[in-house]
Amino acid sequence: MRTLTLAGAAALVVVLALPATGIAGPTFTRVATLKGSIDPQLAMSRNANGTLTLVYPSFTGNLHVTGLAARTISPAGKVGPEVQALSGWEAGVPGLVTFPNGSLEAFFGAISPGNASSVWGITSTDGGTTWSAPADIRSGPNEALAYGSDVTARLSGGSPLLTLPQAGGLVVQKGLGPGSPTVLANDPAFASVVDVDTAVDAATGEVVASWQSLKADTLVMQGVSPSVGAAQAVPGQRHSNLVLAGRDSGPGVFAAYTADGTHVRLVRYGGGSVAVGSLGGVTAKAMGVATGPAGRIWVTWGDENGGLAVTRSNKAVTRFEPIQHVNPKASSLWRLQGDGRLGPLDLFAVQLANVKGPIPQPEAAYARVLPELSMTWSESKQNGKTTLHVTVSDAGDPVKGATVSVKGKTAVTNSTGGTSLVFGPGITGKATATVTSPGYQALTKAVAL
């Protein structure tokens, strides 16, 4: 597939490779025990008050599936206790949606204890603390082998839209229960479907699916609702999964790819791509994207040796913040996924932790990553006084309300991201500017007066 420049992205900012030394950043915490594989491992959905709910298979010590577990992460990033949402079922990897009334429903393929193979749903009306008994929500015979499938789920037009691999194809079910419309969505050229993900285009409502095509030995994106669109092979190196993210406002569903294992780009379903950048010493073995606020997209990539690179786009998805370097302390890394709708990125690394002693069970490790600011400055002198002119931005977008502090003086940026600080006679030489803004990492930068 030929790579095009996104419309309106005439001037792209490519972040240059940086040395992979001095990894800092947030601490990663185990939030789930998982099977290490290529499959999607965490279903997640954020409700209107900002709480992020996770649902995932639960296991015994020998990784035998015993049901589904659930956990919440508060808007402030506090991890809640794990609860058993389903017991006694060998459930597949689930999908999860939050309805407008706040109720949650998780969907999974399984053979019931009564030996019925189907797609099932469990519901929570109290934020994930308690869950209902399973209900059969299969539409018809297309899902007859659902016990072998992982399920993804999105809300589309107010109704759940489920996707699950079946007999080498991709079944799409709109709605719940008998008679709900279903379709086999994938192009035969890209059959043998595994590791499905989905995302919603906020501008059009289109649901886009991604998967590995074992037949074509490639990664694929395809619109699946409200109608089946063209299948689009993703360029670059072959990877085990293709994580999707749609913008929260504006058009576009995106995935990350690399042509050389180092430099990362975003590809958009329907055509076009944009350069994200590279970070020295970090290989793009695993790549993920996540929805950010005001049209932004988070991008992360990395490996078990060099750690992770993390960055966020501007509102137009044409430029990116400075790339951060974080360390999940992995000995093996399989998948990166997350949610950044609140501003920070709630990031999950599906990995094997690098710890001393016996080999641990695979995990989903969680960290909250704050976005980064940029600052430019200039100075002017008049009547013995020095004026420091500062502009604060986020991937090129101006940041209003940021506080700039230099030598005991403070000022707040305006709607263009600009502000000025005036220093009296005798205050000259090098100084440090500190920039703070709610929801961002603090920035320090050397200036001259």
What confidence tens digit (pLDDT) does each residue in 163-179 have? 998 878 899 999 999 98
Residues 6 or more apart in contact with residue 428 via CB below 8 angstroms? 386, 449
Exposed / middle / buried, residue 358 (Cβ in 10 Å: 0-12, 13-18, 19+): exposed
Give the CA distances from residue 181 to residues 40, 151, 258, 445, in Å, rounded to whole numbers and listed in that order.
24, 16, 37, 57
> Is the pLDDT score of 21 beyond 50?
no
The DSSP output letter for 248 is: S
Which of 235, 167, 160 is CA-nearest to residue 198? 160
> Is the pLDDT score of 97 beyond 50?
yes
User: Which CATH fold would you assign to the domain 374-448?
Assistant: Immunoglobulin-like (2.60.40)
pLDDT in tens, 105-144: 999 999 888 888 889 999 999 999 999 999 999 887 666 5
User: Are the CB atoms for 347 and 367 separated by under 8 Å?
Assistant: yes
DSSP 254-284: EEEEESSSS-EEEEETTS-EEEEE--TT---
| pTM value surpassing 0.85 | yes
User: Are the CB atoms for 365 and 351 separated by under 8 Å?
Assistant: yes
Q: Looking at residue 2, what is its pLDDT?
A: 30
In one-letter notation, the amino acid at residue 125 is T
Q: Could you state, in order of their start, the residue ranges of all structural domains in the chain? A: 31-184, 235-372, 374-448
Our CA angle for 373, 378, 380, nearest 5°, is 150
Confidence of residue 41 (pLDDT cuts 50, 70, 90): confident
Which of 441, 383, 431 is CA-nearest to residue 409? 431
User: Are the CB atoms for 276 and 15 separated by under 8 Å?
Assistant: yes
Query: Are both 31-184 and 374-448 of the same fold?
Result: no
Which of 269, 252, 254, 340 is CA-nearest to residue 298? 340
pLDDT in tens, 251-307: 999 999 999 999 999 999 999 999 999 999 999 999 999 999 999 999 999 999 999
pLDDT in tens, 143-166: 655 666 789 999 998 899 999 988
Query: What torsion, rounded to 10 degrees, do the Cα atoms 142, 144, 148, 151 define?
Result: 50
Our CA angle for 405, 320, 365, nearest 5°, is 90
User: Which CATH fold would you assign to the domain 31-184?
Assistant: Neuraminidase (2.120.10)
Q: Looking at residue 144, what is its pLDDT?
A: 57
The DSSP output letter for 142 is: G
